Structure 1
Amino acid sequence: MKAIAYTEPGGPDVLEVMELPDPVPGPGEVVIRVRAAAVSPTDTMRRVGMRDVAGAEPPYVVGMDAAGMIESIGSDTDTDLEIGDAVMAIVVPNGSHGAYSEKIAVPVESVARIPDGASLIEASTLPMNGLTARLALDKLNLPAGSTIAVTGAAGAFGGYSVQLAKADGHTVVADASEADEELVASLGADVVLRRGEGFAAAVREKFPEGVDGMIDGSVQLDEIVPAAKDGATIVTIRGDKGERERGVKFWSIVVSKYAKNPEELDTLRQQAEDGVVTLRVAEALPMDQAPEAHRRLEAGGVRGRIVLEF
């Protein structure tokens, strides 16, 4: 099979098309013939060596979102999926195991059918970011009617966080640049405030006691602590943790904890079908244009996901 891989960390141009052995499904696994793989910031971080897996050997393949067709099913696999079914999957990269591949073997618990009415390209944008947003809200564990602030709301993770928080019955205050205000409002945010240094102060103007919880999709960290209520939790995706002033706590999440959560992944499928979450594709590019996809993502301003077609 062909895959987009690299042997040494570096810039986008280290990504190249390589021939790698076809995967064979083990017990409890399926092999997906990948047709689409979403490009996410975690992919670019791995490419530069920021999230290497200890002991992994080159060539390295990144990518955490795949969509395609079931090609084979391993022994002792309890599933109602059949060969030929259109599916999406979350992938936990390790060495040459990553979603930027023509074929990928994954645990069946990491797979769900694609939403009705969605293309494989659209479906590939949902698993990793959708499950990360679900995990963030589960970690906050706030009762319906709470107030949650989301930073980076125009991004994929932030956008899903806004939509899932609204589906859970929360009031959502979100940040946005002037250009993104209409987009973020369309995702369902109740209050949209200008992103940047003044965001925390603006939140306090609207909610004098602070918000009940926060999801920090744009990694503003301590800059947003003043917006949180005393003792509130801020969920972050970049490893920061610990207590700050007034008992405000940071809680770092890792989506791999939800990588074998078929119920949540299937719920996301249903929510996409019902219009609760929006599948946003910025652009689809052929697999051999992976370096260009990474350059565009790192340049900033991408709304939705760039997707590689295989």
Structure 2
Amino acid sequence: MRAVVLTSFGGPEVLETAEVEIPEPGPAQVRIKVRAAAVNPVDAGERAGAFGGEAGVRVGLGWDVAGTVDAVGAGAGSWSVGDEVVGLLYGLLKPFGTHAEFVVLDASAIAAAPRSVDAVGAATLPLNGLAAARALALLKLDAGQSLLVTGAAGAVGGFAVQLARRAGLVVSAQGGAGDEELVRALGADHFVPRTGPLGSGYDGVLDAAVLGEAALAAVRDGGAHVGVIPGASPASERGIRVETQEVAADGELLAELVTLVDEGVLTLRVAETYGLEEAAKAHVRLQEGGVRGRLVLVP
């Protein structure tokens, strides 16, 4: 099968589309014929060597996947060949990723695909939707309380805005020039320009833009701050509870998010699509910045 891999770290030029062996599902696993797979900042970080790794060892990229179950291992539950699914392949520096024609996932990491969108749209949900949902759960805010979402026009931030509004929170969304219409359409009550002050007194902040101490300063005494990158959250002060979400493969939670997609609560945003052999072009576009929606590879 074809797969996007790297054996050295650097810019987009290190990516290769190589012929590799088709993986076989083990116990409680399924193999998926990939129809679409999103490109995320974590993929660019892996490619650049931000998470370490050993030169000369093959690394496969890709966390998100939408596709069709192609083979089923023993004990994989009710999944059958032909099922349309979405899933998350968790983990850094994997020998196989979802940027390939086939991928093996734990059966517990997948959910039935949304009925209301195609595979390209569905592939944008798992990583960023799960991250947003887990971050909001850590905030532990009640309906009527105030939330600031930094980086609200991004993938995690956009899902967070929609999930927070559904939970009855009063949402302030921070974004760049030209983002106000977008974040208000996602449900934000207030828009906070990136070039201005964040404000203060929020019950909680979901810091999708990784502003750190600046975002913490916007939280009221005794409030909550949740970051999205392990190791990047600021130290607690003024009695503020500081936590960091770390995404995990969770088919049950993903199934709940799929339902919200089909109910029209969550919007899936695709910026551009590329073939597997165009992965380097997708990485170039990602590092240019300003992408509103996900770049998606289509085998």
TM-score bin (small chain): over 0.9
**Paired position in structure 2 for 1:207:** none
Q: Is the 8 A contact 2:273 2:296 kept in 1?
A: yes
Q: 1:72 to 1:57 in 2, by over 3 A?
A: farther
Q: Is the 8 A contact 2:210 2:232 kept in 1?
A: no
Gaps of 5+ in 2: none
Shift of 1:99: 1.1
Report matched runs for 1:158-307 at 5 Å: 158-196=157-195, 198-200=196-198, 203-204=199-200, 210-238=201-229, 239-241=231-233, 243-256=235-248, 259=249, 261-307=250-296
Q: SS in structure 2 opposite 1:31?
A: strand
Q: SS in structure 2 opposite 1:183?
A: helix
Between stretches 170-179 and 235-244, larger displacement belongs to 235-244
Deviations 1:142-162 (A, max 9, x none): 222221110000011100010
Q: 1:10 to 1:278 in 2, by over 3 A?
A: same
Runs of 4+ displaced beyond 6 Å: none
Deviations 1:49-77 (A, max 9, x none): 11246x89721011110111100000111
C-alpha separation between the residues in 2 aligned to 1:62 and 1:195? 31
C-alpha separation between the residues in 1 aligned to 2:205 and 2:234? 15
Report matched runs for 1:46-57 at 5 Å: 46-52=46-52
C-alpha separation between the residues in 2 aligned to 1:64 and 1:244? 31
Q: Is the 8 A contact 2:212 2:233 kept in 1?
A: no
Q: Is the 8 A contact 2:64 2:126 kept in 1?
A: yes
**Paired position in structure 2 for 1:88:** 86
Tell me the percent identity: 40
Tell me, yes or no, if structure 1 residue 154 matches structure 2 residue 153.
Answer: yes
Q: Is the 8 A contact 1:214 1:234 kept in 2?
A: yes
Deviations 1:115-139 (A, max 9, x none): 1121100000000100000110111
**Paired position in structure 1 for 2:27:** 27
Between stretches 86-95 and 153-162, larger displacement belongs to 86-95
Q: Superposition RMSD on alpha carbons, in Å?
A: 1.6
Aligned residues: 297
Deviations 1:62-119 (A, max 9, x none): 111011110000011112x321111111111443121111111101111111111211
Q: SS in structure 1 opposite 2:216?
A: helix
- Give TM-score scaled by structure 1 length: 0.92
Shift of 1:236: 1.1
**Amino acid in the other structure paired with 1:14:** V
Deviations 1:22-63 (A, max 9, x none): 11111110000011110111110111111246x897210111
Which structure has greater helix proportion? 1
Between stretches 20-29 and 240-249, larger displacement belongs to 240-249
**Paired position in structure 1 for 2:13:** 13
Deviations 1:271-296 (A, max 9, x none): 00011000000011111111110111
Q: Is the 8 A contact 1:4 1:287 kept in 2?
A: yes
Tell me, yes or no, if structure 1 residue 36 matches structure 2 residue 36.
Answer: yes
C-alpha separation between the residues in 1 aligned to 2:122 and 2:87? 9
Q: Is the 8 A contact 2:173 2:190 kept in 1?
A: yes
Q: Is the 8 A contact 1:284 1:306 kept in 2?
A: yes
**Amino acid in the other structure paired with 1:279:** L
